[in-house]
Amino acid sequence: MSSIQSKSNKKDKQPGRAEIRFLEAFERLKVGKAELLPKGTLVTQNNVAKEAGVNPSALRRSRYPDLVDKIQSWIDENKDNSSQQSTRQKSLAKTAKNRSLKQQLDDIKMQNDIALSKLMEAERMIIELTLENQRLKSRLPAIEATKMP
């Protein structure tokens, strides 16, 4: 019967002091107000342990499965959050965005060049047709004179 009680005690178990320290450290990291680590440090399982002031190997899934699951699920939910990106990730994202903008600029320049080329061709054609129209109009009186007799 004592084994049944111990099993139910594990389910109803209150967090120990170490787990409370981990939870507090986790909450501080989530809001970006770390005390031991630099402000704005990313939330990772190792950083939670470091912020709690213990060796990262102390925060194991085998010891604190619920806490580790909570940390991992928060990380997964917030991985796209810019505050959760490392400096390198932010730099890579900025580079990709700049590259994308540069590509867009190059595409627009190419479209502009094509449009300008078509415009110049149309203007050349207008001039050519205008000259031909004038040439034909100048011949018109001579043609009409030959038809009259």
Domain co-membership, 78 together with 5: yes
User: Per the confidence metrics, is the pTM higher than 0.75?
Assistant: no
List, for residues 86-123, the tens digit of each pLDDT value. Answer: 677 778 888 888 888 899 999 999 999 999 999 999 99
Domain co-membership, 63 together with 124: no
- Look at residues 64, 84, 104 and tell me which one is the last residue of a structural domain: 84
Give the residue numbers spanning the domain of 126.
86-149
List, for residues 20-63, the tens digit of each pLDDT value. Answer: 999 999 899 888 888 888 877 888 899 999 989 999 888 898 99
Domain co-membership, 6 together with 70: yes
Q: How many helices and strands in the chain, by DSSP H and E?
A: 5, 0
At residue 112, the pLDDT reads: 97
**Which residue type sits at 65?**
P
Q: How many domains does the chain have?
A: 2
Domain co-membership, 109 together with 43: no
**What's the CA gap between 133 and 141, in Å, rounded?**
14
Domain co-membership, 79 together with 116: no
